[in-house]
Structure 1
Amino acid sequence: MNKQKLESFCLKLPGSVHDYQIDWEADRYKVGGKIFAIIGCDSEGKPIITLKCDPHHSEQLRENYDGVIPGYYMNKNHWISIYFNTNIPEEILENLIFRSYELVFQKLPKKIQKQIKLQ
């Protein structure tokens, strides 16, 4: 997996916007002003992507794939971080990004959801 593909996929999602958080040294992807993906590095400088994830599903992912850890600097129950050099197939990673987006989108007020769908 490479950063450009991940960024491109994140930005294809309806209403998705990108910003860069200088303090975190991370690229953030948001929908409706809420983060659904973060691309940055861990404390050792290893690249990771952090995504919102159902707690039960995140446990299964950590058991099945090397390089999937509880969310780096995020709520450990609701976020996961995935190292770029992990063995997760690209299709599964794209599904995880989409699911993270959906989890965040579903929590947005209905008015904002409608505005995004109309874009």
Structure 2
Amino acid sequence: MDLQGYLRSKPEAEDGYPFGPDAQVFKVQGKLFALVFQRSGCECVNLKCDPHQAPGLRDLFAAVSPGYHMNKRHWNTVRNDDSIPPGELQRMIDHSYALVVRGLPRAKRLGLEARHGRDQIYRGAL
């Protein structure tokens, strides 16, 4: 799966390297929803996750672990090693993005929803 391409396709997603060349950060409205990095020779992504869902995903997929250098209750690290079906990885990304959008101040959230439509923002996410 083209991880960076899918992350960039999220409405108003912006990426950059504020922590240096080894960690690509993806944000919406200035808030982090994904962090891509290499670990042990494998591409990984930190994704926000509902704390009630995170343990289940970790149990279900060997490629999902508590968030590396993140709050382990709210973030998962996912190894992009093709062991997770692409549709499931996309759902995890959609979920992370939607959680971050839901946490935005009301005016920013409503503006984003008005510009792109609620279906596009929350597609398959929650």
Q: CA RMSD in A?
A: 1.6
Cα distance in 1 between the residues matched to 2:21 and 2:41: 12
What residue in structure 2 maps to residue 59 of structure 1? 55
**1:13 equivalent in structure 2:** 10
Q: Do the aligned partners of 1:29 and 1:37 also contact (CA within 8 Å) in 2?
A: yes
Find the partner of 1:27 among 6, 18, 24. 24
1:24 Cα deviation after fit = 6.8
Q: Structure 1 runs of 4+ off > 4 angstroms?
A: none
> Larger relative contact order (C-alpha < 8 A, sep ≥ 6)?
1
Unaligned runs of 5+ in 1: none
Query: What is the CA–CA distance in structure 2 between the aligned matches of 1:14 and 1:35, rounded to whole Å?
Result: 14
Q: Is the 8 A contact 1:68 1:86 kept in 2?
A: no
Contact 2:37 2:44 in 1 (8 A): yes
Report the TM-score, using the length of structure 2 for normalisation.
Answer: 0.83
Question: Percent identity of the aligned residues?
Answer: 34
Could you tell me which residue of structure 1 aligns to residue 34 of structure 2?
Answer: 37
Match of 1:102 in 2: 98
**CA 79–24 in structure 1, closer or farther in 2 if over 3 Å, else same:** farther
Find the residue that maps to 1:55 and give its secondary structure.
coil
Q: Structure 2 regions of 5+ residues with no counterpart? A: 117-126
Distance 2:107 2:33 in 1: 19
Residues 76 and 9 of structure 1, relative CA distance in 2, 3 Å threshold:
same
Q: How many residue pairs are counted as aligned between the two chains? A: 115
Q: Which moved further from structure 2: 45-54 or 93-102?
A: 45-54
The one-character-per-residue Cα deviations of 1:24-58 (angstroms, maximum 9, x if unpaired) are 7211110010000011023x443211100011211
1:68 and 1:91, CA in 2 relative to 1: closer, same or farther beyond 3 A? Answer: same
2:85 counterpart residue number? 89
Q: Which amino acid aligns with 1:23?
A: G
